Amino acid sequence: MFVASWLARSGSAGTKTEFDAKLALRWAAGGGDSAVRFQSAIRSINAWRRSLRRATFSSMDAFAFLAKCKDLPQHAIYCDQPFPGGPGDKYKFHFTLKQTEQLSRELLRFRRARLVSRFYDHPIVRDLYPESEWTWHHIAGRKQTNDPAPEVLLVRK
């Protein structure tokens, strides 16, 4: 699992072929091959251990998951749902506009748990996640194609 998760993804996370990737191989000294990725993962593993020691990961249906989550101050939920207007067919899972709206309503029921959600900055996101309810943190992200993508991390107030 470590090798599949850290070394071979090559920008394919969330796509239909995310675990079919081969190990990266570069023929120049520019970096990015599997050896460089493995060394980076080793250097960062202690930081990940400290950060994630109490984390639980799930790939279950988002709505079923949120229905089970307790709204407690010591809880945090990170939501990385499909982006409105995203790359479409490349990904395994898609949200309709109705599902996107449903998710925003479900997340608003949480008042005490810490909620963080990630999106591209998009008009639909602006409508569904107003700054009166969410703190917007603008970050310089990248698309799967490595093109720049203005992303936002939204934190529930």
Is 43 in contact with 49 (CB distance < 8 Å)?
Answer: no
Residue 5: its pLDDT value, please? 55
Q: Where are the domain boundaries for CATH 3.40.50.150 in the chain?
A: 58-157
The tens place of each residue's pLDDT in the chain, 157 residues long, gives 455 555 555 656 666 766 666 666 666 666 666 677 777 778 888 887 887 788 888 888 899 999 999 999 999 999 988 877 665 566 677 788 899 999 999 999 999 999 999 988 889 999 999 999 999 999 987 776 778 888 899 999 9
Residue 84: its pLDDT value, please? 78
Distances (CA, A) of 142 to 9, 14, 28, 79, 126: 15, 14, 23, 18, 20
Class (C level, CATH) for 58-157:
alpha beta
Cα end-to-end span (Å), the chain:
35
Residue 88: its pLDDT value, please? 58
Tokens of 73: 């101050």
Radius of gyration of the chain (CA): 17
Distance CA(71)–CA(146), nearest Å, equals 36
Name 148's Cβ contacts closer than 8 Å, sequence gap at least 6.
140, 141, 142
Q: pTM here?
A: 0.70
Name 73's Cβ contacts closer than 8 Å, sequence gap at least 6.
112, 113
CB atoms within 10 A of CB 74: 9
Residue 12: its pLDDT value, please? 63
Residue 52: its pLDDT value, please? 79
Closest of 2, 41, 8, 11 to residue 146, by C-alpha: 11
